[in-house]
Amino acid sequence: MSSKHLRIVAVGLAVLLLLWGGSELFSRGSDTVTGSLALPRLAPADVDSIVLVKGADTVVLAKQAATAWSVNGHPAVPVDVTDLLTALKDTVHPELVAQDASSFGRLQVDSAAGRWLRVFHGGKPVLQLIVGARASDYQSVYLRRPGDAHVYVWRGPLAGLTERRADDWRDKRIAALVPDSITALDVERGKDRYALKRVGKAWTLHGGATDSGAVHRYLDRLKSITAAGFAAPKEVDSTKALRPKRRLSVRGRGGLLLSLTFDSTATGFVVRHLGGVGAAGGEGATVYRMNTWDVDGITPASRSLEPTKPTTPTKPK
């Protein structure tokens, strides 16, 4: 083969290598080649509301005060909103994986299948994204900007946060009590009914002595009474006419602090907030769900609060 032919072959190989290298660069989705996803770094102070929409499912997170948020009209957990805004910060660089609308359906980032995320400030959108399916790494998700054909993989907790339904954002705290403010408790647990009363620095059970350590642990559980979730309409209707299986009434110096009833179901308890003005948290009209072990913790059996009986020493043989 002549030197001329060798030069032609060498040039051809060089061209092929350049084409292959460009193809690899695009297939890896390096956004240094085309487009980038630079999101504004948003703090809670920069945001008035956040709206998540997928089909008929709409979640509206709205700021009520500097540290108070609502979700679809119910109290939300502020730290969860902060987590969502933190998840929108690209601490891990997003990876470009597609550049054509033909990929939208497969990655579920089309306008119909994707979940729309809109962040507002002053009534105007400051960020809009369409969040799609989970990527190969479960802690990652496909997303794009509306009107942009570039699709990216975004890693981190954003995937799970945007999949939440309205109830997942709601504050599940039923009540929060300060132990020092409690002067008496009445518990009904089936046939086991008892009254705990504060007398000076001590507590009495039916007027008798108690296990001070057990009472202290019980009062500590009342600092935060948290539900597992919210009762479904079917659970609310099926237990409405039943006599509650358990009751808890908590009183302080100013009167009733908290009154709850507990109706048993196949998977736990339906909890109704009947009254009380001295317990923070909770929505009076809301019917909650609690796990059995959590209800046991706030309505313990009376025997668990009785003083420990001394053991009888064994006589030597």
DSSP string, 233-252: HHHHHHHTTSPPSEEEEEEE
Q: ∠ CA(55), CA(171), CA(126), 5° rounding?
A: 50
Q: Alpha helices, DSSP H only, in 88-211?
A: 104-107, 158-162, 166-169
Q: Which residues contact 174 (CB under 8 A, 6 or more apart)?
A: 225, 226, 227, 260, 271, 273, 281, 282, 288, 290
State the number of CA atoms in the 13 A half-sphere of 64 facing the CB.
14
**Token pair in block for residue 259:** 């009154």
Sign of torsion over alpha carbons 28, 29, 31, 34:
positive
89 Cβ contact list (under 8 Å, min separation 6)? 39, 41
CA distance 312 to 53: 67
Q: pLDDT digits over 230-265, tens only?
A: 998 888 887 776 789 999 999 999 899 999 999 988
Dig out the tokens for 235 from the structure. Answer: 């659970």
Residues of the chain with pLDDT under 50: 15, 19, 21-34
The secondary element (H helix, E strand) that includes residue 2 is none
Return the closest-CA partner of residue 29 out of 163, 139, 140, 115.
140
Res 29: pLDDT:
41
Q: What is the reported pLDDT for 28?
A: 44
Q: What is the pLDDT of residue 13?
A: 54
Residue ranges of the chain assigned to CATH 2.60.40: 44-169
pLDDT on residue 237: 84
The amino acid sitting at 289 is R
pLDDT computed for residue 235 by the predictor: 85
Query: Is the CATH number of domain 44-169 3.40.50?
Result: no
Alpha-carbon span 309 to 208, nearest angstrom = 14
Instruction: Extract the tokens encoding 203.
Output: 């507590």
CA 7 to chain centre: 66
Parallel, antiparallel, or unpaired for β 173-175 and 151-155?
Answer: unpaired
Whether 172 contacts 288, CB under 8 Å: yes
pLDDT for the residue numbered 22: 47
Report the pLDDT value the prediction gives residue 129, as an integer from 0 to 100: 97
pLDDT of residue 30: 40
